[in-house]
Homo-oligomer: A and B are copies of this chain.
Amino acid sequence: MNTTDNKPPIDFWFDFSSPYGYLLSEKIDGVAAKHGRKVRWHPILLGIVFKATGSAPLTLQNQAKASYSLHDFSRSARFMGIPYLHPSQFPLATQNAARAYYWLHGQDCGLARQFAHATFRALYVDNRDISSPDTVLDIAEKLGVDRETLAVALQSPEIKARLKDEVDLAIQAGVFGSPYVLIDGEAFFGADRLPQIEHWLESGSF
């Protein structure tokens, strides 16, 4: 029996510029697979979500919280066994990366997942400026994607509309930050909810 087909997928929303989104991205598929689940990844633009919900990035809130958050990003990464180097440009615009993700997803969802991992690692391991379309194209090209085709696609009205729709759907689903995970209607916010996610997947309730 293929249990993966019988259980509903997990939804995982994140912004590519979210450190805790990156941390959870390195764990969520493995944890889900252990319990026969697949994960649907949804990159979004947190700036639009914050505008809609009246919030702000952790590092642009008060100084005490900003300093703590910067420290906690690295510490939480070490605690979870994930490499992390805080990017010199932060936060940064992620619409090119998110658009590339959705365009790739239309071609090959496995490739889109590889691109998402590569993009997160480009930012949080190799300190690359993923806001630049050139960087996004470099990352995709290394995965075998035709650079010119993707460059044209990133400017298409369809892919811009697709990303806008995904952000709207996220807000409708209750997403107010990154990472945000929905399993069987149960919401989990933050990479630090991973133990509770595992507990939910094991027991199906709380």
A64 touches B190 (CB 8 A): no
A174 part of interface (Cβ distance < 8 Å): yes
A62 partner, pick from B78, B176, B189, beta carbons under 8 A = B176
B71 touches A187 (CB 8 A): yes
A54 to B63, CA, bound (A): 10
B55 touches A176 (CB 8 A): no
Would you mind naming 10 contact pairs between A and B with Cβ atoms under 8 Å apart?
A: A53-B63, A53-B65, A55-B65, A71-B187, A78-B206, A79-B195, A79-B196, A79-B199, A192-B193, A195-B195
Interface of A with B (CB < 8 Å)?
53-55, 61-65, 67-68, 71-72, 75-76, 78-79, 171, 174-177, 187, 189-190, 192-193, 195-196, 199, 206
